[in-house]
């Protein structure tokens, strides 16, 4: 049923596109915003526009960042030879919160998924190999921290195979201590921290 305001309906339609937001919550958010001061709604709108227009990706690790290189890649203390491979930027934030890892990251931007037609060339595997071969920042350990689902597993195996010829590089994977199929996003900090500390050779 259409409401009495097309403008309101248009806002609801846009909000309902957000993940986890159905039309009902979209309507609640729109009505909530309507009650806020113009200033606070403008701040939200500005933040959203900035999110799209000003944010960039670090050209080294691929993490979403305000600057290039990101604050992790530009920190010389983090160049300790450890490279942690994750699926998405979100995973970097989760691991950073554990304070367990002090090396560098590599964000793949996805995982190999033949069913979705996503192959190694569609994610940042080439960039990973370029970093591994970069003599300026030698890598001695690659830590695979991909989700323990079938796509994450397939991607871990693929990367492990590519790294096999590099005798000087140790390939490890984080230990999960949780059932297969659970995504990093749903693991509490303590478990993730433990998983990091007790990573295994791949």
CB of 66 to Zn ion, least distance (A): 11
Backbone angles phi, psi at 118, to 5 degrees: -105, 110
Footprint of Zn ion on residues 41-70 (CB under 5 A)?
Answer: 58, 60-61, 70
CA dist., res. 25 & res. 16, Å (int)? 8
CB of 89 to Zn ion, least distance (A): 10
CB of 57 to Zn ion, least distance (A): 8
Is 192 within 8 Å of 98 (Cβ atoms)? yes
Question: Closer CB to Zn ion, residue 74 or residue 182?
Answer: 74
Supply the Cα-derived Rg of the chain in whole angstroms.
21
Question: Closer CB to Zn ion, residue 70 or residue 95?
Answer: 70
CB of 159 to Zn ion, least distance (A): 18
Footprint of Zn ion on residues 67-86 (CB under 5 A)?
Answer: 70, 73
CA dist., res. 84 & res. 95, Å (int)? 10
Question: Closer CB to Zn ion, residue 58 or residue 139?
Answer: 58
Contact partners, residue 22, CB within 8 Å, separation at least 6: 16
Please give the structure tokens belonging to residue 29. 């958010």
Question: Closer CB to Zn ion, residue 96 or residue 149?
Answer: 96
Residues at the contact surface with Zn ion, assessed by CB under 5 A: 58, 60-61, 70, 73
């Amino acid at each position: 049923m259409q409401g009495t305001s097309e403008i309101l309906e248009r806002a609801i339609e846009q909000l309902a596109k957000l993940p986890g937001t159905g039309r009902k919550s979209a309507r609640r958010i729109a009505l909530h915003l309507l009650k806020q001061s113009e200033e606070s709604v403008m701040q939200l709108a500005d933040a959203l526009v900035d999110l799209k227009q000003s944010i960039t990706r670090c050209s080294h690790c691929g993490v979403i960042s305000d600057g290039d290189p990101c604050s992790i890649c530009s920190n010389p203390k983090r160049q300790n030879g450890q490279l942690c491979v994750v699926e998405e930027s979100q995973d970097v934030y989760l691991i950073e919160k554990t304070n367990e890892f002090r090396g560098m990251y590599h964000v793949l931007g996805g995982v190999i998924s033949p069913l979705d037609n996503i192959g190694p060339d569609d994610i940042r595997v080439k960039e990973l190999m370029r970093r591994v071969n970069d003599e300026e920042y030698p890598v001695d350990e690659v830590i695979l921290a991909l989700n323990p689902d079938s796509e994450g597993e397939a991607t871990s195996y693929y990367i492990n195979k590519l790294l096999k010829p590099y005798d000087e590089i140790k390939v490890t994977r984080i230990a999960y201590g949780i059932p297969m199929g659970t995504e990093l996003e749903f693991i509490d900090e303590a478990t993730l921290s433990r998983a990091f500390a007790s990573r295994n050779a791949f």
